[in-house]
Amino acid sequence: MADVISAIDYVVPAIEIIDSRVENWAIDLPDTLADNGSTGAVILGGTPRRLTDLTLRDMPGVLHFDGRPVMTGNTRNILGNPLAATAWLCKRLAA
């Protein structure tokens, strides 16, 4: 995870909207990631912040639509910490 942390200049809140375009899921993980094969859209927001200014392992978020909350979440739901999820993914793809 230290390599992941040292590679990050800043973070912003993001939501990925999943919408697979691959019929019968005939694709493996590296191809899916390289092609964004399951991404319908990505929403980025907020002001870029340094990792040292945040507690990424426990940050709540709320998605609003027309001024009403429609979804909530927390970064701890991403393998306990989004940095851990990124490190896991890098290790898996390197293997």
Residue 90 CA: distances (Å) to CA of 3, 4, 70, 83 = 10, 9, 32, 11
- Of residues 92 and 8, more confidence is placed in 8
pLDDT tens profile 76-89: 988 889 999 899 98
Interval 34-82: pLDDT, tens? 666 677 888 898 899 999 999 988 999 898 899 999 999 999 988 889 9
In terms of pTM, does the model score above 0.85? no
Q: Is 33 helix (H, G, I), strand (E, B) or coil?
A: helix
